[in-house]
Amino acid sequence: MNDRSARPGKPDGSPVAPEDIARRIALRSRQLGLTREELANRAGMSLRYLQHLEELGEGFDQASVLRLAAALQMPYGELLEGRTDLPPGQPPPGPHPALMKLTPQECWDRLSDHGIGRVAVSSGSSPAILPVNYLVDAHSIVYRTSRTGAAAAVEGTEVAFEADHVDESDSEGWSVLLVGTVEHIDDDSAARLAAQPGAEPWAAGIRDLWVRIVPTRVTGRLISTA
């Protein structure tokens, strides 16, 4: 039996559960809006054979998985083993979850002194939500961006900022939402902020505009299973 007809396996040689491949085929087909017949045509296989693979979860070989991955517009490894970069929140809820409000001080405690959050601004005729590297400075949120970038909010406008943390293992997490007014920071303060840990944005390019969000409202929620 050659490589193309061999039963697919993980890079470490361990077997792949055929039912998991079948589940990923069904999910991706729904995402693309493909019927089983359309997928079979794309993959160059008979409808009966594809039905056998999906419904019985057996009979997959490397060649069929390669054809299906191409038809589903996804990498072979992703169809074989699933994605490794899924967003948080995939596990089910924990036992006896409780949703609690955070006080403003508890919100600031969780924001720490720097991290990654999302800023919601009005961009032209529509809103935009953008990830930013932020610092906490004197009970305000500051971040640096390009002067022509989407996150370069106009002074005096109202924006929202959100940061969160998820504990996948315990199905717990928190979210902090801050609403406030935009100020652009002068050169002296900008130099001081630039020297702080976490001040360097992950994104490349010239980002010489410092934006401060002066909060008018700070709220937060905590999900705990304790």
Which sequence spans correspond to the domains of the chain?
3-81, 98-224
Lookup: tokens for 141: 């949120």
Name which residue leads in pLDDT, 88 or 139: 139
Sequence-separated (6 or more) residues with CB below 8 Å from residue 95: 225
pTM of the model: 0.70
Q: Taking 80 as the threshold, does the pLDDT of residue 101 lie above it? A: yes
- Residue range 72-89: average pLDDT? 82
User: Do 3-81 and 98-224 have matching folds?
Assistant: no
What CATH class is the domain 3-81? mainly alpha
126-180 pLDDT per residue, tens: 889 999 999 999 899 999 999 888 899 999 999 999 999 988 778 889 999 999 9
Q: How many CB atoms lie within 10 A of CB 46?
A: 11
pLDDT band at 55 (very low <50, low <70, confident <90, very high): confident
Determine phi and psi for 110, rounding to 5 degrees: -75, -30
Q: Which CATH superfamily is domain 98-224 in?
A: Electron Transport, Fmn-binding Protein; Chain A (2.30.110.10)
Query: Which residue(s) pair with 128 in the sheet?
Result: 121
Residue carrying the six token digits 């006896």: 96
At how many degrees (to 10) do helices 18-32 and 47-56 cross? Answer: 120
Type of residue at 198: G
